[in-house]
Structure 1
Amino acid sequence: MPAVEDVDVDKIWRALGKWGSYQRRQLIVEMVAIWSCSLHMLSIVFLGYKPDHECKNAYNSSNGQAHSNNSMSRRFEKCSITYTTNETGVSIVSTTDCTDGWRYFDPEPYSEDRSFISEWDLVCERKELAEVSQTLLMLGQGIGAFVFTSLSDRYGRKRIHIMCHVIIFCVALATAFVPNFTLFAVMRMLTGAFQQGTGLTLSLLLIEMVPRETRGTVEVCSLLFWTTGIAIVTPIAYIFRNLSWRYLQICLACLSAWSLIEWWLIDESLRWLIANGRIKEAKAIILRACKTNKKNFDHVVSVSGFREYELNYETKLEVKKDERAVPLTDTMTSNKENGNTKIDMSVKQYTVIDLVKSKRIFISSLIMWFAWTTNSITYYGIMLISSSLAGNRFLNFFLGSIVEYPAAAAELYLITRYGRKPASIIFHTICGTALIIATILTTTAGGNSAMVICSTVFTLIGKFAITGSFSTIFLYTHELYPTNMRNVGVGLSSTAARVGGMVAPFSRNLAEIAAWSPGLVFGIMCAIVAVTMFWMPETHRYELPQTLEECEQWYKENRFHLPCCRKHDVDKTEVDQQMT
């Protein structure tokens, strides 16, 4: 009798019609939740905008001007007050810290609660605290990636996704009413944790709802929704530019309010239900999909092996009706002994220890962890320093967002035509080269406006490439691990990315000290990733692996292969299945 791996979920989706009404509705509803993940990731660019500032003078608020009397003059600077006294023809210069707080301007009169930085005076010796809030968000993401991915493997993608999504709404709304920076930082960390729980479980729901030949298209569509979510932050922030940051936070939080009704809109992952022996629930979803897509249920379950799987499971329940049913995931055998049917069903669960034990998978995982770290620090670093680039900060952030649209088109072409590994190598090479060129132009500009603008253009090219690479490795990583290790593998990769994410906010401070340094660091890291990717196997047009043994053999046979020089033909059998 067929094993669970003989229940081909891809054949179910093909028989239902790869882009049937049921799948389209589910995908759209799920992808809208991507906005809730993207909105809060980079909103700190506006919530925590750093306006120009100087020490406050209780008597005169002129920008950086010197104030003097007959024997002493004072000059108010960003973080200090310089005193110059003249006694008997000798000038004595001394400095003190700001004693009356700070005055903010940009370049018009600036209210002191338009960003949380100016409200809580997170400047000068307290400036690192502003970046700590974003670092804590990334730390929360690392915690969320580790905790919620494991929970979704155990309790299902849908439950964990919706729970995290609802909590994001509540936490984001509460953030707008915090009275001090300490509570604000705590809320940011909670936002990061539940944002990651929402996003990673959502990505699994999306990838597991389509057959392998359309996974790339779904990932690109996810990127388009992510890009749209980031892009709409700019007009919203512009509308609230003269109001307290709290109003912007409330608006962004309310965009997640629909999570309260999401439970009734989406279904559990069919692949997860089958892998965990949830036969009745899986059958109910297939029936619902058949009704929506106007397909014959018997045909769908017959061509996929689900019918035999269901019958074998029911036989087991009859044989062991007084015992607790063991969910079937990886192996099932049957034979006849003394006229009775003996069915052995076992669950193959994997842990982090299994990942480390496999040398090939562990080395490949190390490469992917470094790639995730590089992509995270580069992607968020470029976006966070966008306000310091030449030109209007709103325009720079918006341009940095919309370059992700052509990145999505380029990704779709590359991963479909050449595969995941070549696409990743190409994107990292472009990004590293562009950022190094931008660094050279910044260093040698010497006030030349044309070179400064060219530097900004190359930085945007780097943003275009890192977006494509980030989306590519997000899809790539899901395809590298067996079903019951997939969330663990993706979770560990995402946790590694948080290392880069926690460092990225400090690129703003580093850019103030040496404008060329962030781009150089990002460029070198991307070059290293491009080289190490040659050690990875290609996953394009391969079925998602079910067992660790499959993965090990697959890794052994496909390392160092670049499929970009051969045409990917789909065999006649697969074409017939897709047409069916």
Structure 2
Amino acid sequence: MEEGKKEINLDSVLESLGPYGRYNLLNFVLLLYPILLSSFFECGFIFEAQEQMYRCEVYGCEQRFNDTSWIQYAIPTDVKNNKLESCLRFAPVSNTSMQCLPEDFSTNKTLPCETFVYEEGRSFVKEFNLGCQEWKRALVGTIHNSGMFLAMLFTGAISDRFGRKVAVGFASCASLIFGFSRAFAPNYLSYVALHFLEAGLGGGLYPSAYVFIVELVGLKQRVIVSAMCNMTFVIGVVLIALLAWVVDNWRTYILILYCPAIIVVIYIWFTNESARWLLSKGRRDEAIRVLKRAAKINNLDERNLELEALGDPLLKPKNQTEDKKSQFSKALRSSIIWKRLLICSFLWLTCSLVYYGLSINSVSLSSHRYVSFMLVVLVEIPAYIVVVIVLDKYGRKKTLVATYLTCALTSLLFAFLPRSDWWSIPLYLIGKWSVTLAYSSVYIYVSEVFPTNMRQTLISFCSTAGRIGSLMAPVTPLLSYYHKSMPTVIFGAMCLISSALVLLLPETRNMRLPDTIEEAEELSRMKRKPSRNGHL
């Protein structure tokens, strides 16, 4: 290239367009909306199938509306939790009609419940009569996350093959159809089947919209845009708690969550496709038309953008193309890559299990489940801000070790110290803040320790391990039936193990991304290597 002549590529064009011009701001709004909705669809089940208070129905006594004193004689008390037993009742002394007096019940013998009395409201547990079948309620979250696991297998393929807006439109449409239908499920089996289909076909909404919005801007704005997406998701989760607070009918709750998706289904087809994706597919003329339209909306002279000189920045020359089979076999033979893959997979699994586990268990954190949940979610916002600062200042390893240890310490203190709203809630919030920071760091770190020619494949493997953690998280509240602190003890133990495993990995701060298996292996043998632009 001649001296002084600027290289024309898509990033330079996007910088010239202005990252926050009217065109981008309009698209930010249009794409942040489905990201907001994805929080509804991914986390709505927490309150949709939330815990319900119930007890045994005692025949002959329930009709005594003006007198409930008999309950203390008929229903045992769970001393550990200081509340009535949900699944047991005292045996009647005789089968004759009772006066519901103390002498009518045998306190030495209990019987399992046959029917139940539920608290007021139209809840999921009450309508499907799931009393003493907590596993069925907890299974809803696992089935949902199983569907999300399925969505991972083809979301990227749809997005890469057919385009970003097709992927967003498809996911929005699937979420609308199956989510809306779930509000009219006649029984438990049809309900969970629709839950699986909704998550399996619509679970790619967030990653599709995220990729679309990141491709609107150049390199310098991607961190900020990513933070915008994360914060929008958090706002959506807070809105879920507020909605569940005021709507006690689970079917109405679902309809309110999913009906807004119809707006995305309508307008997404009128948006412009990602210029970066069009270029990657060799559709250069279409990409130029999109960029010209963007320049017109931003009141810029398209001639200054030198669009006609725009090539395909993603297309590699043939002599740089490597044999994928050869690289795959090299990865299989590399003990360093295998060790790194297993450790990173465990780190991702820990983050996913603890992150979702703390969110789900937060509804039992205090007497006000909705406020507790909102606090646990809102604490994520400062974590997304801090991670941008500490990763570059202190390095990846120190940040991960510190955050895992902090989460482990707060989880174990919360488990073994007496509960008090004055300090137990702050401890819980610090733990959630720490694992959120660790989760964000792992996303970045994992992409830096694997080579370019195998990066997407190996990251997908780690992400799959993380999805196993999210599958396990919904059933962790069941462990509290054995011991109220068991979930947080498990979270703390996982974080302790992860903090130790991080020490076995290389530091990647200010190191250039490895392109080959050999360069990735070399990370473990060096302390610092200059980046490609010459800076340390």
TM-score w.r.t. length of structure 1: 0.76
- Cross-structure match for 2:317: 331
1:395 matched residue in structure 2? 371
> Which of 223, 227, 232 is 1:216 aligned to?
223
CA deviation string 1:90-116 (max 9, x = no partner): x794433222x11123xxxx13xx221
The one-letter amino acid of 2:344's match is M
Q: Distance in 1 between matches of 2:182 and 2:46?
A: 16
Aligned mates of 1:232, 1:415 — CA distance in 2: 30
Of 258-267 and 49-58, deviating more is 258-267
Q: Which residue is equivalent to 1:104? A: 118
Indicate how the Cα distance of structure 1 residues 428 and 239 shifts in structure 2: closer, same or farther if over 3 A, else same.
same
Query: 250, 257, 261: which is aligned to 1:256?
Result: 261
CA distance in 2, matches of 1:36, 1:198: 9
How far residue 553 of structure 1 moved from its aligned partner, in angstroms, is 5.5
Q: Give how far 1:31 is off.
A: 1.8
Instruction: Out of 194-203 and 504-513, give the one that drifted further.
Output: 194-203
Q: CA deviation at 1:150?
A: 2.8
Aligned to 1:386: 362
Partner residue of 2:126 out of 98, 118, 121: 118
Shift of 1:132: 1.0
User: Is the 2:379–2:433 contact (alpha carbons within 8 Å) kept by the matching residues of 1?
Assistant: yes
Is structure 2 residue 476 aligned with structure 1 residue 503? no
| Alpha-carbon offset, residue 346 of structure 1 | 7.4
Comparing 56-65 and 138-147, the one that deviates more: 56-65
Q: Give RMSD over aligned pairs.
A: 3.7
The 1:482–1:386 alpha-carbon spacing in structure 2 relative to 1, beyond 3 Å, is: same
- Write the letter of the residue equivalent to 2:111: T
- 1:537–1:560 CA contact under 8 A, matched in 2: no
Q: In the superposition, relative to structure 1, how do residues 118 and 570 fare at CA in structure 2: closer, same or farther (>3 Å)?
A: farther
Q: Is the 8 Å Cα contact of residues 35 and 210 (structure 2) preserved in structure 1? A: no
Amino acid at match of 2:182: T
Note the 1:403-418 alignment, pairs <5 A: 403-415=379-391, 417-418=393-394
Residues 1:552 and 1:267: Cα distance change in structure 2 (over 3 Å): farther
Which stretches in structure 2 are left out of the alignment for 5+ residues? 63-67, 76-83, 95-105
Contact conserved, 2:9 with 2:311, CA < 8 A, in 1?
Answer: no
Residues 91-149 of structure 1: CA deviation (Å, up to 9, x unaligned): 794433222x11123xxxx13xx22112212232x220111111011111111112222
Distance 1:283 1:272 in 2: 12
Measure the CA separation in 2 of the matches of 1:203 and 1:60.
57
1:538 to 508, 513, 529: 508
* 1:309 aligned to which of 311, 323, 333: 311
Displacement after TM superposition at 1:252 (Å)? 0.6
Offset of residue 365 of structure 1: 3.8
Q: Distance in 2 between matches of 1:297 and 1:349?
A: 40
In structure 2, C-alpha distance between the alignment counterparts of 1:541 and 1:135, rounded to whole Å:
39
- Aligned partner of 1:455 in structure 2 is 424
User: How far is the alpha carbon of 1:555 from its aligned partner?
Assistant: 2.7
Measure the CA separation in 1 of the matches of 2:337 and 2:263.
39
Q: Deviations over 1:521-552 (max 9, x none)?
A: 1122223333434525637796xx7xxx7254
Cα distance between partner residues in 1 of 2:254 and 2:327 = 37
For residues 30-66 of structure 1, the C-alpha deviation after alignment (integer angstroms, 9 at most, x for no partner) is 1221122111323233222222211112322347432
Deviations 1:244-282 (A, max 9, x none): 210111111123222212424543333333233222222
8 Å Cα contact 2:331/2:517 also seen in 1: no
1:228–1:433: structure 2 CA closer, same or farther, 3 Å change rule? same
Q: Is the 8 A contact 1:352 1:488 kept in 2?
A: no
Distance (whole Å) between structure 2 residues aligned to residue 26 and residue 419 of structure 1? 34
Does residue 278 of structure 2 align to residue 273 of structure 1?
A: yes
Taking only the aligned residue pairs, the percentage that are identical comes to 23
Counterpart secondary structure, 1:462: helix
Amino acid aligned to 2:261: S
Do the aligned partners of 1:372 and 1:497 also contact (CA within 8 Å) in 2? yes
- Whether the 8 Å CA contact 2:22–2:297 is kept in 1: the answer is yes
Partner of 1:48: 49
In the superposition, relative to structure 1, how do residues 145 and 404 fare at CA in structure 2: closer, same or farther (>3 Å)? same
For residues 333-378 of structure 1, the C-alpha deviation after alignment (integer angstroms, 9 at most, x for no partner) is 7xxxxxxxxxxx9799899957954845554443332222112111
The counterpart of 2:214, out of the listed 202, 207, 213, is 207
Name the counterpart of 1:325. Answer: none
Counterparts of 2:245 and 2:465 in 1: how far apart (Å)?
Answer: 34
SS at match of 2:508: coil
1:92 to 1:457, Cα distance in 2 relative to 1, 3 A? closer
- Give the structure 1 partner of residue 190 of structure 2: 183
Q: Quick one: structure 1 residues 369 and 471, their matched pair in 2 at CA, closer, same or farther if it must change by over 3 Å?
A: same
How far off is 1:491 after superposition? 4.2
Letter in 1 for 2:197: L
Aligned to 1:318: none
> What SS does the corresponding residue of 2:50 show, helix, strand or coil?
coil
The answer to whether residue 346 in structure 2 is matched with residue 370 in structure 1 is yes
Q: 464, 487, 496: which one pairs with 1:527?
A: 496
The correspondence for 2:170, drawn from 139, 163, 169, is 163
Displacement of 1:420:
5.4
Give the TM-score of the pair, scaled to structure 2: 0.82
Structure 2 CA distance for aligned equivalents of residues 59 and 282 of structure 1: 75
Question: Take 1:351 and 1:192, find their aligned partners in 2: how far apart are those partners?
Answer: 36
> How many positions carry a matched residue from both structures?
504
Q: d(CA) in 2 for partners of 1:227 and 1:178? A: 29
Are residues 1:438 and 2:453 paired? no
